């Protein structure tokens, strides 16, 4: 069981409305590390933040407006007490109450994948889960006055711990079907860190929020990861203690060079870079595996010139699409996964893995 060495896995969303079709595609294309498919085309319940909101105290779901918010105006002490009791049980005993899990109405793909893994028997080397990261959740979901939950310390902590619980629930459910579970926190809003919109968002808080989720994932025996589909201050997730840093290498592949010292330390302590080198846009038609392999070698060269060993980069490399494929046509999503699998084989062969 080897992590790295150009192992291929996916990010999350797929454009299907058939869970079985999504599961079939994933298992056929990336069998070493399949992920459960998020299916946003099912509608409101499978949108990124909504999908992970079940069991959250004070939630108000407006299906007409397609909006989730938390009502912080009333007495929420009893609801908080109940949640934190279940949270403590989850982190200390490793058993997550199903009321804090993800039901089939909110994640058709998760339950379809779980059922398929159960019926097929055996274990995959890895199975990957994912959740909405706590920073993205708290800066996107608001209170009744449309103020982001990040700026309310009580509710920010609640949402961080909910992210922990959602990860632990997935790990608990998927563990029988894999030698090792990988669990990602998806943090697209990290790309906006430091912008004028989020000047009040403190770096130390971001590191602590992400770090709390990563620590819980690792304590459960799983591999922790973070996905950010854009450019950001890459030292933040590395400082937060992630095992796998996943980034949009197709668009921002050279962005790690300015963090070369942090990358070197990250790799030496056992970290992995998940290169989102396969584009999830119409560009997939113009970039066959050989082209992407050459592109990736160019990014390796920039880090090698900063003193990082090329073989170490290869040994600690994972391959993914640049982002989810939920907005693509199914045929293009399949091309993304075909290209991903072929690129993995090509790079393994090139480096003798």
Asked if residue 346 has pLDDT above 90, the reply is: yes
Burial of 171 (0-12, 13-18, 19+ CB in 10 A): buried
Asked if residue 227 has pLDDT above 90, the reply is: yes
Residues 243-275: pLDDT tens digits? 999 999 999 999 999 999 999 999 999 999 999
On whether the CB atoms of residues 15 and 325 are closer than 8 A, the answer is yes
Residues 86-122: pLDDT tens digits? 999 999 988 899 999 999 999 999 999 999 999 998 8
- Reduced to 3 states (helix: H, G, I; strand: E, B; else coil), residue 112 is helix
Query: What pLDDT sits at residue 121?
Result: 87
On whether the CB atoms of residues 249 and 277 are closer than 8 A, the answer is yes
Supply the pTM of this predicted model: 0.96
At 141, the pLDDT band (50, 70, 90 cuts) reads: very high
Residue with tokens 């934190």: 84
DSSP structure string for 323-353: S--TTS-HHHHHHHHHHHHHHHHHHHHHHT-
Burial of 81 (0-12, 13-18, 19+ CB in 10 A): exposed
Q: What is the mean pLDDT of the chain?
A: 95
Arithmetic mean of pLDDT, 114-136: 96
Arithmetic mean of pLDDT, 214-219: 97
Radius of gyration, CA atoms only, the chain? 19
Q: Which of 16-25, 94-103, 122-131 has the lowest mean pLDDT?
A: 94-103
DSSP structure string for 85-101: HHHHHHHHHS---GGGS
Arithmetic mean of pLDDT, 133-161: 96
Query: Which domains does the chain carry?
Result: 7-351 (3.20.20.210)
At 1, the pLDDT band (50, 70, 90 cuts) reads: low
Residues 59-85: pLDDT tens digits? 998 887 778 999 999 999 999 999 999
On whether the CB atoms of residues 66 and 38 are closer than 8 A, the answer is no
For residue 303, CA distances in Å to 22, 55, 238, 264 come to 36, 44, 16, 9
Percent of the chain with pLDDT over 90: 89
The HSE-up count of residue 91 (CA atoms within 13 Å, CB side) is 17
On whether the CB atoms of residues 50 and 106 are closer than 8 A, the answer is yes
Percent of the chain with pLDDT over 70: 100
Asked if residue 205 has pLDDT above 90, the reply is: yes
For residue 52, CA distances in Å to 68, 134, 160, 339 come to 11, 11, 12, 30
């Amino acid at each position: 069981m080897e992590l790295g060495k150009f192992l291929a896995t996916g990010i999350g969303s797929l454009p299907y409305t058939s869970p079985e079709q999504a599961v079939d595609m994933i298992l056929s294309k990336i069998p070493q590390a399949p992920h459960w498919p998020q299916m946003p085309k099912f509608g409101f319940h499978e949108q990124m933040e909504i999908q992970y909101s079940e069991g959250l105290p004070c939630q108000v779901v407006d299906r007409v407006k397609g909006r989730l918010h938390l009502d912080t105006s009333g007495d929420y002490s009893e609801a908080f007490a109940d949640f934190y009791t279940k949270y403590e049980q989850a982190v200390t005993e490793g058993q997550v109450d199903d009321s804090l899990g993800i039901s089939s109405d909110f994640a058709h793909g998760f339950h379809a994948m779980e059922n398929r893994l159960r019926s097929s028997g055996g274990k995959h080397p890895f199975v990957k889960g994912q959740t909405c990261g706590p920073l993205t959740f708290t800066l996107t979901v608001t209170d009744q006055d449309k103020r982001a939950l990040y700026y309310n310390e009580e509710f920010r902590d609640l949402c961080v711990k909910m992210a922990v619980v959602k990860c632990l629930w997935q790990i608990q459910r998927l563990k029988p079907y894999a030698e090792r579970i990988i669990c990602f926190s998806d943090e697209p809003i990290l790309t906006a860190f430091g912008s004028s919109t989020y000047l009040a968002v403190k770096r130390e808080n971001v590191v602590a929020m992400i770090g709390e989720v990563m620590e819980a994932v690792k304590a459960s025996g799983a591999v922790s990861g973070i996905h950010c589909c854009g450019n950001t201050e890459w030292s933040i997730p590395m400082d937060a203690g992630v095992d796998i840093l996943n980034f949009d290498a197709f668009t921002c592949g050279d962005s790690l060079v300015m963090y070369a010292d942090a990358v070197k330390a990250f790799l030496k302590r056992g970290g992995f870079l998940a290169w989102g080198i396969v584009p999830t846009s119409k560009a997939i038609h113009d970039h066959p595996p050989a082209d992407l392999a050459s592109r990736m070698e160019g990014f390796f060269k920039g880090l090698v010139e900063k003193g990082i060993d090329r073989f170490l980069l290869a040994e600690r490399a994972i391959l993914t699409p640049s982002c989810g494929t939920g907005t693509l046509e199914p045929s293009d999503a399949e091309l993304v996964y075909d290209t991903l699998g072929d690129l993995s084989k090509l790079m393994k062969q090139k480096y003798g893995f």
